[in-house]
Homo-oligomer: A and B are copies of this chain.
Amino acid sequence: MHHPACIRRFCHLSSGPVKLAIVGGSRGAAFLKVLAPLADQLQLVAFCDKREEMIARWKEDRPDLLTFTSYEKLLECPDIDAVFLATPFTVHAEQSIQALRAGKHVLSEVIAATTIEECWALVEAVEQSGLTYMMAENCLFTRSNMMVAQMAHAGLFGEISFAEGGYIHDVRHLQHSSDGTLTWRGRLRRDVNGVVYPTHSLGPLAHWLRMHEPNGDTLESMTCFVSKEVANHSYFRELFGDAHPGADRDYWRQGDSAVALIKTRNGVLIQLRYDVKSARPIQNAHYGLQGANGAFLSGRHKDEDPIVWIGGRSPGVSPQRHGEPRAEWESLWTYAEQYEHPAWRKWRAQAGNAGHGGSDFFVLDEFSSAILEKRRPLIDVYDAVMWTSVFPLSVLSVETQGKPVKFPRFNRTEAVRAPGSEA
């Protein structure tokens, strides 16, 4: 195959690091500090934000960067190989498709799209471009989640039956500006009701379940139930008074706690909880796993160790017959010597300083490596849209009082999922 994308890739290999533009300055800034150790494979060359004050702030730190207030202008620039979209997720699909059509590789922050139609359009744009698309789901790459992946793939948990994830993070203050005007997050809570932000919860589970592998498991059907709204209207009333429309409970479609139950093609049950409004300590990294031979459970908060029990290795037996020792959890970290992920072993010094538990580092590493090595990234467009589609499909389920909905089969060309098959 000698279509233009292949030639472009070959150019990368011979000409050094991938030249990257970051689009969106608020979230994008978190990635600046992890770039140094990746200098051989990834070079930040440009920055784009429609806010002039954000451009000015970045210019102070990085006067060397090309800057753009127009995304379209950026896409016309021939000195940029790839874009990293750190913009509101409502525009991710549109911006990704624009970039792919302009010949740029795309690293998109989560989530990849907001409708099933956008998901399909994104898949088509990637397939037609032959370029690399990756979704930047950093939770896959945390130290504990990577270690659990190693253990799951080594078979320690046995055949897996159940996996759960939870994203619980009170970010009500991000829904409005200081005068009470709604931001895009606020408008989302006003307009839709479901598991709107599923990939932090689902991504690691999909990795443990090998969904990214050729002929891997896939999401099949889902139901979603959501509680009533209690947290937002009281918050808006307190902050902006009764005159603000958000002081009315009925103004908000999104309930406080949303739970989706998903059955996979292979019969695994996945449970996802989503709550970005309730008053409580953060738990944006709740995970659990159950197999025929053991279980994993994350801490209730950051000061608690994640725990595991592995039959034949951890203390006690299950089931516990009369007189036998009771099964007792162990700290996940006691398994680090044997099951620390090789990437974490190698890069821990560098990654430890990055945001999101070091995982931002691995996102950029994986994206640029996939481009340079001409292979599919760990989170390709099929993974991205499968996980992302929980948003529109959960909304649909809620609108029909929890009726189960089927997932589309986005991986319609199975061969594309095989590692290296794109080359």
Contacts and interface: CB of A to CB of B under 8 A. Distances in A.
B292 A275 contact: no
A401 B329 contact: no
Contacts of A327: 170, 279-282
A226 interface: yes
Interface stretch (A56-64, A311-319, A408-416): A311-319
B257 A275 contact: no
Interface string A285-316: 00000111111010011001001010100001
A278 B403 contact: no
B281 A225 contact: no
A32 interface: no
Copies in the assembly, this chain: 2
Given A223-B261, A227-B267, A290 B278 contact: yes
Interface in A129-159: 158-159
Query: Which bracket fits the contact residues of A?
Result: 35 or more
A158 B235 CA distance: 12
Contacts of A295: 278-281
Nearest to A262: B225
B161 A227 contact: yes
Contact of A269 (B221, B227, B279): B227
Interface string A311-349: 100001011110000111100000000000000000000
A280 B295 CA distance: 6
Specify which of A256, A263, A311 lies most central, judged by the most chain B CB atoms within 10 Å of its CB. Answer: A256
Contact of A170 (B171, B279, B319): B319
A21 interface: no
Given A225-B261, A228-B267, A279-B293, 4 more contacts: A162-B275, A227-B267, A228-B266, A280-B309
What 5 A-B pairs have minimum CB-CB distances, sorted nearest first? A228-B267, A227-B269, A162-B257, A280-B295, A225-B261
